[in-house]
Amino acid sequence: MTIDEALTKIKQKDRCWVIWDSDTGEVLSVDRFERNNSLGSPNRCQIGRLLTSANISRTVLELQERDILRANLRGRILTEWYEAPFENVLLLLERGQYEEPMQKDFDSDYLVDHLWKVHRDDWQPVARVRLSTLIATDLLSPSASQHLGWCLHALDGREADLLALWRNPASTYPYNDTWHLMECLAHTGTKDAGLINDLVRMIGQDGLFEPRRIAVRTLAQIGHAAWPEAAAAIRSNIRDGEPWITAFRDRALERIGSPDEEWTRCSHCCFGYIHPQKGHGVAECPACFGIGVTRIDSRRHSSFANENIS
């Protein structure tokens, strides 16, 4: 329906549930909102909002339509970038031109993160030099610069520098930065006892599950050096829940409880990440639970694993 038709329907009610087509931004329906009614949730191709009629004007509906179209365009451009080869993404970062609706402050972060997660094998010496020249320039957001610096430390094996950042009492990082730093540390192959203790402590903390899950994943990436403290903490704090949680926990215990030599890089992913076949974004590899390694021959070593998991 047109915006004017939608506005007429909205004004006939005090509160209403409006559904937009998420591709075209067109209003599809306007329904009366009543407590206890079951309007259901919009499906993947729709966006729903509960509106108070008195607050809605033509401008509000026009802005909503514009936002939907803008988000669609951003999604299409990001998908194009995420499907591009490493060199093309590197050129995008080097050019630093983000035309509306793209924005340097978000998208340079996304691009650095994307290169790190699904193109890490392409960060060869020449590319690393090119990337290093972008740090602390106007071409990147401050957080993209910081993350890029940590990635380069990880690939150059600068474990001591990353550990210094981790231990710096003046640094309080948001979750996203903390998780990236943990991942960079794991990439160096660190076996640092202090870091392992910190991660073990994180597993036992109250609160959100996600930070604890990332701590388990990082300990699993660190491997057998985290034995036995990490295994004890995982058993005590990661309880049986949904099947994927149990499977993830058991895989982490198997990894930590067995020698690192029995594990090899997972052939399904790039250090634990995959680029889904459609759209933009990255996902953790379901084959290795994002740990990035798989057991060379699980049958051959099953007795060892069983001893240590039980």
State in angstroms the smallest separation of the CB of 189 from Zn ion.
Answer: 18
Interior angle at CA 29, CA 62 and CA 37, nearest 5: 125
Closer to Zn ion by Cβ: residue 108 or 221:
221
Q: How far is the CB of 271 from Zn ion (least distance, A)?
A: 8
How far is it, in rounded angstroms, from Cα 305 to Cα 255?
Answer: 8
Task: Name the site residues for Zn ion (rule: CB under 5 A).
Answer: 266, 268-269, 285, 287-288
CB closer to Zn ion, 66 vs 268: 268
Q: Are 32 and 24 in contact (CB under 8 A)?
A: no
State phi, psi for 271 to the nearest 5 degrees. 50, 40
Please tell me the distance from the alpha carbon of residue 129 to that of residue 113, in angstroms, as a whole number. Answer: 17
Shortest CB 277 distance to Zn ion, Å:
15
Least distance (Å) between residue 232 CB and Zn ion: 26
> In angstroms, rounded to a whole number, what is the distance separating the alpha carbons of residues 61 and 57?
7
Nearer to Zn ion, 152 or 285 (CB): 285
- Cβ 295 to Zn ion shortest distance, Å: 12
Q: Choose between 93 and 285: whose C-beta lies nearer to Zn ion.
A: 285
Nearest approach, Cβ of residue 293 and Zn ion (Å): 8
Nearer to Zn ion, 78 or 282 (CB): 282
**Which of 9, 117 has the CB closer to Zn ion?**
117
CA dihedral (25, 31, 35, 38) positive or negative: negative
Measured CA to CA, the distance from residue 178 to residue 180 in angstroms comes to: 5
In whole angstroms, give the CA distance from residue 70 to residue 72.
5
Q: Which residue has the tokens 């033509």?
A: 58
Instruction: Choose among 35, 6, 31: nearest CA to 16.
Output: 31
CB of 251 vs Zn ion, minimal distance in Å:
11
Rounded-to-integer distance, Cα 145 and Cα 147, Å: 6
Beta strand spans in the chain (E)? 15-21, 27-32, 46-52, 263-265, 273-274, 283-284, 293-295
What is the rounded radius of gyration, in angstroms, for the C-alpha atoms of the chain? 24
Shorter beta-carbon distance to Zn ion: residue 122 or 177: 122
Nearer to Zn ion, 71 or 245 (CB): 245
Which residue, among 191, 150, 140, 192, has the nearest Cα to 171 in the 3D structure? 150
Vertex 306 angle, CA 263 and 212, to 5°: 70
